Structure 1
Amino acid sequence: MPPFSGNRAVLLELALKQTRKMFNSPCGGLKRPYLDPGAQYARNLWDWDSYWASVALLGIAAEVKDDAFSAEVLKHAKGSLLTFFDYQAPDGSMPILLDGEGVDVFETRNPGQNIGKPIHAQFALLLEERGAFDDAEKAMLLRGLRRLAECRINRSRSCPTGLFVWNTDAAIGVDDDPTAWGRPPKSSAHIYLNCLVYADFRAAETLAGRIGDTESVRFFRQEADALGEAVRRCCYDRRDGLYYTVDVQCVTTHPKFSMFTLNASLDAFWQVLPLKIGAWSSFLPLWCGIARQEEAGRMVREHLMNPARFWTPWGIRSLAADEVMYRPDDSRGNPSNWLGPVWIISCYMVWLGLKRYGFEAEASQLAENVVGNLAEDCRRNNVLHEYYSGETGEGISGPGFLNWNLLALLMHP
């Protein structure tokens, strides 16, 4: 990995000055050190935010070879993960957000609600690889991950398809994604959700193998294999050359119309209806390894690199510019806009997918675009923003946001 220089050096300087604002000591209902995202999210413990912040900070510490900083990050990352397991419910459900008093803000113990985004096994594996846990902690984590997986399967799997659905549109992470936001409960088999679940099952399989729990290895491997096949079968559109979120309610919940014998035999033989909306999550099958190589080529050439759709000089749009819902600014008053702005988490995950499938030149250009834009924000404003305009590169929301923006420092040419 190249040394920090140029734009990366500018970004690193700001990161090292401001990162410790994310470190929180035990307080109130949170009895362990933990990480928050910064800006308006200070003092809150979020699920995928704490995971990706840990990935970024541990990666930066390794690159700068700062053992003391690495130990501090590891302490807060471990505390973040174990806090979620402290609050795991008897049915296996996991909070999405804990406030400073330890309140499960989204009441995830209610069976009708979503549960924590599927990053916990990936988080555990990240820290296990750095020697964070003793044997008892590893065993506890694997038991908790198994209960969490079974809870997710019981609550949120669409049995006819094998895909996972959002129970509601609350706290899904990509808040106003039109393939999930405002849609009927348990209708959206979201490509983002299913790729995260697949990656988490694979991470749990690896963790179980390291512990020597062969039965759990078998369980997680079977679940991951089945889900990967379901995503390839149901979510890839051969005509468009892109993965889509699909609607499952058409088959599983709605009774068909019939009058006497009229239409009585017209059962739907299709399992899903594709929601043909191009979003950054369409590329997550590259990140998690579900996509076939021949599919990857079309996805990258026809969609990702197309400036009329996703590609910009500042990163990847969160929604394709040719979609009617495209709104790459904050004029709607939504504090979390996924209708076109450039988010660094999106760019990082797409970058990993490009690297995984051998698109080195494209990955290198994406890295340069993202790091260059963040460095310009540092120079102009001495802060980073939560997301950026897909039309101008200007910071839009959340000045002072750090969190997964720091992943840009791991995106090397």
Structure 2
Amino acid sequence: MLDRWTRLLENYIHTNAEQMMREPSGVLRHPYTVPSSPDSPYYSSTLWDWDSWFTTVALGQVEADTEQPGRFRKYEEGVILNFLEHTDDDGVMPILLKPDGPMLHGDPSRAGGFSENMHKPVIAQQAANLTRRAGTASFIEPHLPALERFLSRYLESHIHPETGLAYWQSDFAVGVDNDPSVYYRPNKSSAAVYLNSLLYRELLAYGYLLEEFGRKSEANVWRGRAQDLADAANEHLWDERDGTFYSADLNLRPIDGDDWLHAGAPRHWSSIIHRIDNWSSFLPLWAGFASQEQAERMVERYRDTRTFSAQYGVRTLSRLEKQYDLRASNNPSNWLGPIWGISNYLVFRGLAKYGFVEDARELAEKTVRLFGQDLEATGSLHEYYHPDSGEPIMTKGFQNWNFLVLQMIAYLEGRPVVAEF
């Protein structure tokens, strides 16, 4: 059965990958990619931030499997160029772009106090992925100043001074939409494991790009900033009691020396751990800043069928959490337990990176079975699924990071995996 689903998925993805390609339109002056087939109107014309990053990763495997290097190159480069051309002088990059312009929520500019979220820190990783595949970074060189403005904006307006952790400005468009450690939380209060893991890899990716142009001393400065962030995450997000990483709550009142009630023993802590078991707790394995000892403890939590381990992959929220809920929702998308292709993939990559080969293989096989059964039954893939039955919950025709199952197939078959940076 697994072999049949493998061949079915390969044929479907190799044939239908082009459905995600779009030609220049309106303010989108370069070709670009979207997350779904044309018959899924919610995603049919919009360029999204982290969605396009993982589309690029998946397309790399399509090109390798079909021996067609560069087949999608103009669309992949176009994604990056479209976003960089819409990055303002203060480094604010939109979360998404439509042909009629960027979608804005509030005022993310300097005048607005940079108080809104912007594009997730993945654009340098996207450029690094293309650079490694093509062997040249020439397309990005004219745009390095815009990329550096973007990363500098993150370090200036998204870093908590007391802890050194990155935080979300609000709960708008955070990717993992209704993560309880962010959703409905006060603004600037959530130092999410997800955001800190992405930013760590992003800073490393920018260092890699700088070194490609011979700028080694500058590259090392950015790598040093990545290490500072990793150190902060290990200090403030790792919970020795539970043996896992959690997001942190930064919503503490400032220390006031004139406050008689607290002056005798002011707080000596700068954050409080959110002990909410979310799939993103495993992202430090993907990012690579967890120690091997930490990974050994975390994998035991991953294997627990009471919490994360399900028939079809990784529950996006532990089944033991009060917020666990599998209902259909697309605004926000539901990450309170359903199986998503991207969470399965990133946890799989972390397991493989730290040497948990059997766990990685099992998760890859579960994902092949999930998508293979869906494709066989409905002729399509969906956005997310019931963790125990594998039944699709939302958005028929969703493609995007579901196509990363190709990387899992390559891993299972012992072939080269075209991985993200």
Please give the TM-score of this superposition, normalised by the length of structure 1: 0.93
1:344 counterpart letter in structure 2: G
1:152-208 CA-to-partner distances (Å, cap 9, x unmatched) read: 111110011000000010001010000001101100000000000001111111111
SS at match of 2:188: coil
Taking the TM superposition and a 5 Å limit, the aligned residue runs for 1:70-81 are: 70-81=69-80
Q: What residue number does 2:346 align with?
A: 349
CA positional deviation for 1:342? 0.5
Structure 2 CA distance for partners of 1:377 and 1:335, relative to 1, 3 Å: farther
Answer whether contact 2:46 2:99 (CA < 8 A) is retained: yes
Structure 1 counterpart of 2:190, from 178, 188, 191: 188
Q: What residue number does 1:116 align with?
A: 119
SS at match of 1:396: strand
CA positional deviation for 1:211? 1.0
Question: Is the aligned partner of 1:163 residue 2:160?
Answer: no
1:393 counterpart letter in structure 2: G
SS at match of 1:127: helix
1:92-140 CA-to-partner distances (Å, cap 9, x unmatched) read: 11111111223243454351111110101100101112338663x4323
CA positional deviation for 1:297? 0.7
Structure 2 counterpart of 1:29, from 27, 30, 36: 27
Q: What residue number does 1:92 align with?
A: 91
Q: What residue number does 2:399 align with?
A: 402
SS at match of 2:184: coil
For residues 36 and 248 of structure 1, what CA distance do their matches in structure 2 show? Answer: 35
Q: What residue number does 2:55 align with?
A: 53
Structure 2 CA distance for partners of 1:76 and 1:333, relative to 1, 3 Å: closer
SS at match of 2:72: helix
SS at match of 2:102: coil
For residues 262 and 201 of structure 1, what CA distance do their matches in structure 2 show? Answer: 42
Structure 2 counterpart of 1:390, from 380, 387, 392: 387
Larger deviation, residues 237-246 vs 388-397: 388-397
Q: What residue number does 2:250 align with?
A: 248
For residues 119 and 298 of structure 2, what CA distance do their matches in structure 1 show? Answer: 29
- Gaps of at least 5 residues in structure 2 are 413-421
Q: What residue number does 1:174 align with?
A: 176
Larger deviation, residues 17-26 vs 277-286: 17-26
1:213 counterpart letter in structure 2: R
1:73 counterpart letter in structure 2: F
1:6 counterpart letter in structure 2: R
Structure 1 counterpart of 2:8, from 6, 10, 21: 10
SS at match of 1:126: helix
Answer whether contact 2:279 2:315 (CA < 8 A) is retained: yes
Q: What residue number does 1:277 align with?
A: 276
Answer whether contact 2:84 2:147 (CA < 8 A) is retained: no
For residues 271 and 332 of structure 2, what CA distance do their matches in structure 1 show? Answer: 32
CA positional deviation for 1:376? 0.3
1:57-110 CA-to-partner distances (Å, cap 9, x unmatched) read: 111220221x2xx43311111101111001011101111111122324345435
2:13 counterpart letter in structure 1: A
Q: What residue number does 1:130 align with?
A: 133
CA positional deviation for 1:145? 2.4
For residues 157 and 43 of structure 2, what CA distance do their matches in structure 1 show? Answer: 28
SS at match of 2:339: coil
CA positional deviation for 1:255? 5.8
1:291-344 CA-to-partner distances (Å, cap 9, x unmatched) read: 11011011001x1011111111211110011101000232x6745100000011
CA positional deviation for 1:31? 0.7
Larger deviation, residues 270-279 vs 208-217: 208-217
Structure 2 CA distance for partners of 1:335 and 1:189, relative to 1, 3 Å: closer
For residues 266 and 140 of structure 1, what CA distance do their matches in structure 2 show? Answer: 54
For residues 195 and 294 of structure 2, what CA distance do their matches in structure 1 show? Answer: 20
For residues 108 and 44 of structure 1, what CA distance do their matches in structure 2 show? Answer: 20
Larger deviation, residues 263-272 vs 397-406: 263-272
Answer whether contact 2:178 2:332 (CA < 8 A) is retained: no
- Gaps of at least 5 residues in structure 1 are none
Answer whether contact 2:63 2:71 (CA < 8 A) is retained: no
C-alpha RMSD over aligned residues: 1.8
Counting matched residue pairs gives: 401
CA positional deviation for 1:353? 0.4
2:130 counterpart letter in structure 1: L
Answer whether contact 1:99 1:105 (CA < 8 A) is retained: no
Answer whether contact 1:385 1:400 (CA < 8 A) is retained: yes
Question: Is the aligned partner of 1:305 residue 2:303?
Answer: yes
Question: Is the aligned partner of 1:64 residue 2:66?
Answer: yes
1:31-50 CA-to-partner distances (Å, cap 9, x unmatched) read: 11000001221100001100
CA positional deviation for 1:222? 1.3
CA positional deviation for 1:5? 4.3
2:390 counterpart letter in structure 1: G
Answer whether contact 2:14 2:62 (CA < 8 A) is retained: no
1:338-396 CA-to-partner distances (Å, cap 9, x unmatched) read: 00000110111111100110000000000000111100000000010001112321110
Q: What residue number does 2:417 align with?
A: none
2:120 counterpart letter in structure 1: K
